[in-house]
Amino acid sequence: MGETVIPLTDLRSLARVPVIPSTLAPPTGHLVDRRGRALRDLRISVTDRCNFRCSYCMPKAVFDKTHVFLPHDDLLSFEEITRLARMFVDHGVQKIRLTGGEPLLRRHLERLVEMLAELRTPEGEPLDLTLTTNASLLARKAQSLKDAGLRRVTVSLDALDDAVFRRMNDMDFPVASVLEGIEAALAAGLGPVKVNMVVQRGVNEHEIVAMARHFREAHGQRVVLRFIEYMDVGASNGWRMDQVVPSAEVLEKLRTVAPLDALAAATPGETAQRWAWRDGRGEIGLISSVTQAFCGDCNRARLSTEGKLYHCLFAQSGHDLRALLRGGASEAQVSAAIGALWQQRDDRYSELRGAAQATGGGPRVEMSYIGG
């Protein structure tokens, strides 16, 4: 009663089947798009389902019993994911992140991890293979994921206060189980663990200091806590600019905990600005995708659960790679299509966000579908 129901604009079917280039240039590992950005990072959504209903991502009012998730036959199989991942790696991808939805809900995920862990870059290096999870199943699965070849995990946790967290995940899921998952990941050797907190004005901003204190005192350098500005992804969360807590404000609050020093980016295209506690108790990350857009060096591509390729988290339509795979295109043809699509890429949504909001923007695919 009294709940706001925001209709979900279903953009999942909006995808073009990519054109296969007439000449099939072999991959060089050095693709660049129209803005000179390299392709280095592939995020793969392995399921569009989640067992949480965070209001900023999959609000209950929209993702309710009537919401139709993708049928199993529509999902890419592990073999299809690995075939595509291999092509992306040949084009220069060095890092793969499994995401969703909640990736640990995909059955036998360890098998996929094993398959991806066997891939090598053109230089013969293994991939930086990682996963983002709400940690609800992590305590149970951390060791088997590590054994399968996973390198690291990122855990989402928006508050330490149990009542605040239960309200935010809207499934009454307790903080203690997430903390257990983090412990299990560290014990299995999946560290340092990144912990992501999405900060929303009036919802959990008062938890910033408690989160910072807890992780620097309990884990020091073994956990990197990252504060994410609440973003206008998808069309279902009713995002408003006044709900965003700018990273600059987060930093001010953190400085009340202990002195911090700025660190240089570890890798190009990194999403977080890095800060270190001066007393050596670890690192903090600030992800300012709203107030300081980082489209300029974005090197990420996203593969949806059913094989659609997106070049931007805020995209309105994708490129249907599954149609090529299942339509009988050869590996050389699919690979050439992926290369040509990256070379045509020109998007920079976050930099244009102000103008997009002013003109109404337009609907965007949901994060739970293309992967966070």
Indicate whether 156 belongs to the interface with ligand SAM (CB under 6 A). yes
The binder of ligand SAM chosen from 18, 100, 181, 282 (CB under 6 A):
100
CA atoms within 13 A on the CB side of 348: 15
Indicate whether 56 belongs to the interface with ligand SAM (CB under 6 A). yes
d(CA 182, CA 172): 19
Residues 6 or more apart whose Cβ sits within 8 Å of residue 362: 316, 356
Quote the radius of gyration of the chain (alpha carbons, Å).
Answer: 20
Instruction: Please give the residues from 331 up to 370 whose contact with ligand SAM meets the rule CB under 6 A.
Output: 367-368
Minimum CB separation from ligand SAM for residue 272, in Å? Answer: 12
Is residue 353 within 8 A of residue 239, CB to CB? The reply is: no
Minimum CB separation from ligand SAM for residue 328, in Å? Answer: 32
Residues 6 or more apart whose Cβ sits within 8 Å of residue 206: none
List Cα–Cα distances, 251 to 179, 220, 228, 248, 260, in angstroms.
Answer: 24, 18, 12, 5, 9
Indicate whether 169 belongs to the interface with ligand SAM (CB under 6 A). no
Shorter beta-carbon distance to ligand SAM: residue 165 or 230:
230
Burial class of residue 1 in the structure, from the number of CB atoms within 10 Å of its CB (0-12 exposed, 13-18 middle, 19+ buried): exposed
Indicate whether 204 belongs to the interface with ligand SAM (CB under 6 A). no
Nearest-10 crossing angle of helices 175-188, 138-148: 20
- Binding span for ligand SAM by CB under 6 A among 115-123, 126-134, 249-257, 346-354: 126-134
Indicate whether 59 belongs to the interface with ligand SAM (CB under 6 A). no
The binder of ligand SAM chosen from 15, 75, 160, 233 (CB under 6 A):
233
Minimum CB separation from ligand SAM for residue 231, in Å? Answer: 4
The binder of ligand SAM chosen from 47, 82, 236, 237 (CB under 6 A):
237
The binder of ligand SAM chosen from 134, 204, 273, 335 (CB under 6 A):
134
Indicate whether 99 belongs to the interface with ligand SAM (CB under 6 A). yes
The binder of ligand SAM chosen from 173, 230, 277, 314 (CB under 6 A):
230
Shorter beta-carbon distance to ligand SAM: residue 82 or 236:
236
Q: What angle do CA 342, 345, 349 make, to 5 degrees?
A: 135
Minimum CB separation from ligand SAM for residue 71, in Å? Answer: 20
Task: Dihedral sign for Cα 48, 52, 57, 58, please.
Answer: positive
Question: Nearest residue to ligand SAM, using CB?
Answer: 372
d(CA 239, CA 242): 9
Is residue 82 within 8 A of residue 95, CB to CB? The reply is: no
The binder of ligand SAM chosen from 41, 48, 90, 102 (CB under 6 A):
102
Q: Could you list the residues that contact ligand SAM (CB under 6 A)? A: 50, 56-57, 99-100, 102, 132-134, 156, 196, 198, 228, 230-231, 233, 237, 367-368, 372
